[in-house]
Amino acid sequence: MQVAANTVVAIHYTLTNPEGQVLDSSQGGAPLAYLHGHSNIIPGLENALVGKQAGDEFEVVVAPAEAYGERDDNLVQQVQRSAFQGVDSIEVGMQFQTQGPGGPMVVTVVDVSESEVTIDANHPLAGVELNFKGQVETVRAASEEEVQHGHAHEGDLAHPH
């Protein structure tokens, strides 16, 4: 069976940045299982897997526009330290969930002064070209329930209903 819409695909992969640094990998663990055609993974990788079948290897370079988008400097802003009530210590690298115009979003602290905190709402991989290398482990037809729920019911994406 080939990877197509409404198939459950399990892949082993290694993700590196342009410098070759490993950012993520399924090696040594369970493969990543996802429901194809339901935006469960980044578009550039999903598109590259169309037509592959179990056993096929892949090597794909995904541009930022097909991954986590380009960096947007407008998503970096300074907020008053008082906005972090109840947080005693704020350090660079900390992440917080906040309410954005489109719903909940995660921001990362990039600078801290006595009165202000600079936060970045860009995804940490925004603007980064991503290199995926791996192998398709399995491909199967999705169940009607998986299609209705919009995700696979096995592997890393499994959860109780």
| Residue position matching structure tokens 């972090």 | 84
Instruction: Summarize pLDDT for 3-46 with one digit per residue, the tens.
Output: 999 999 999 999 999 999 999 999 999 999 999 999 999 999 99
Cα–Cα separations (whole angstroms), residue 92 to 83, 85, 100, 117, 138: 16, 17, 21, 9, 41
Give the DSSP letter of residue 2.
Answer: B
Encoding tokens for residue 123?
């995804």
Count CA within 13 A, CB hemisphere, residue 35: 18
User: What pLDDT shows up at residue 158?
Assistant: 47
CATH number corresponding to 73-120: 2.40.10.330
- Domain residue spans of the chain: 7-68+126-157, 73-120
User: What pLDDT shows up at residue 73?
Assistant: 96
pLDDT < 70 positions in the chain: 155-161
User: What pLDDT shows up at residue 113?
Assistant: 94
User: What pLDDT shows up at residue 27?
Assistant: 93
State how far the Cα of 64 lies from the Cα of 38, in Å rounded to an integer.
19
User: What pLDDT shows up at residue 156?
Assistant: 42
Tell me which of 3.30.70.1140, 3.40.50.300, 3.40.50.720, 3.10.50.40 is the CATH number of domain 7-68+126-157: 3.10.50.40
Nearest CA-CA partner of 139 in 27, 45, 49: 49
